Amino acid sequence: MSAGVLYVVGTPIGNLGDMSPRAVAALTESRLIACEDTRRTGKLLQHLEIPRRQLLRFDEHTEVDAADNLIREVAAGSVVSVVSDAGMPSLSDPGSVLIGKANDAGIRVEIIPGPFAAAHAAVASGLLDSAGRFRFDGFLPRKGKEREDRINDLVLRDVATVLYEAPHRVAATVSDLAEVCGAARQVALCRELTKMYEQVWRGTMAEAVAQLEHTPPRGEYVLVVARADPPAEVADDVLLTELESEIAAGATHKDAATSVSLRHGVARNRVKKLISY
């Protein structure tokens, strides 16, 4: 390893035995380590028997301001590492701004891969297709139209989707998913990944809602939503009848078209053409 490099280091998501020798070597050589929580990273270094390094707080609130300072350190010949509390930096964690600026500045960047909760959950769920495809959506917005749009986007998706969620919000999120994607859609609830009490629960959305009602959520959750079944063919007269019913009930033409298209898995433009203005 040579001087003047930014290491992007993956760290364990639960089991400290998953720390790779290459990651340990990078942290050992680093003069400065940028991290979300200096106390947590300090404990990791202690566990790995790495002498205490200079630690810099590097989270969603400080990344933009800290990035330029870190790049100057590397440009001056320092070895710098960036880590998140668990998993890979920039994947639902800080890091993308720094990496982008480092690339723009011609700084040497080395990615040292490590555990990734989304991939672990996707494989453990058994919900992937034969090509092993999935889409990682991270955390959903907490409220508003952006959240609604993101959930609606899952309805017709032909690959499994991986989401992260906090324990105090997971029940509400699964309830919202069940309402939009349908009670029969398969989902996996994954928690405590790589730890002693790792749990991967799988069932329908309706069963998942009941499961969370009877089992108080604990720990961070990874949700794997199964891909949608191919939509069945539906005749125009069926679509038109449902459109007219929704409009008669007070829905706008736009909202009625969106609702019917999502319900049947057809293009909204096709539905809109059936409306008489």
Q: What is the pLDDT of residues 15-29, one digit of tens each?
A: 999 999 999 999 999
Mean pLDDT check: name the lowest of 117-126, 145-154, 234-243, 256-265.
Answer: 256-265
**Share above pLDDT 70 across residues of the chain, in percent, rounded to a whole number:** 97
Residue at 233: amino acid letter: E
* The dihedral sign for the CA sequence 93, 171, 120, 231: negative
| Number of alpha helices (DSSP H) and beta strands (DSSP E) in the chain | 11, 10
The C-alpha atoms of residue 275 and residue 253 are separated, in whole angstroms, by 7
The angle, 0 to 180 degrees and rounded to 10, between the axes of the packed helices 96-104 and 63-75 is 40
**Contact indicator for 56, 33 with CB cutoff of 8 Å:** yes
> pTM for the whole thing?
0.82
Does residue 2 carry a pLDDT above 50? no
Mean pLDDT check: name the lowest of 25-39, 148-162, 168-182, 224-238.
Answer: 224-238
Mean pLDDT check: name the lowest of 71-75, 184-188, 247-251, 258-262.
Answer: 258-262
Is beta strand 160-165 parallel, antiparallel or unpaired with respect to 221-225? antiparallel
pLDDT digits (tens, 9 = 90+) for 44-69: 999 999 998 999 999 999 999 999 99
pLDDT digits (tens, 9 = 90+) for 88-117: 999 999 999 999 999 999 999 999 999 999
The C-alpha atoms of residue 273 and residue 106 are separated, in whole angstroms, by 52
User: How many CB atoms are located within 10 Å of the residue 178 CB?
Assistant: 19
pLDDT digits (tens, 9 = 90+) for 252-265: 998 888 888 888 87
Phi, psi for residue 142 in degrees, rounded to 5: -75, -30
Instruction: Please give the mean pLDDT across all residues of the chain.
Output: 93
Read off the tokens for 43.
């404990």
Which whole number is the average pLDDT over 2-14? 90
| E strand or H helix that includes residue 203 | strand 199-204
Quick one: pLDDT at residue 3? Answer: 66
Q: With cut-offs at 50, 70 and 90, classify the pLDDT of residue 276.
A: low
Q: Which residue has tokens 């320092």?
A: 78
Q: With cut-offs at 50, 70 and 90, classify the pLDDT of residue 162.
A: very high
pLDDT digits (tens, 9 = 90+) for 191-204: 999 999 999 999 99
The C-alpha atoms of residue 119 and residue 121 are separated, in whole angstroms, by 5
The angle, 0 to 180 degrees and rounded to 10, between the axes of the packed helices 170-181 and 144-152 is 50
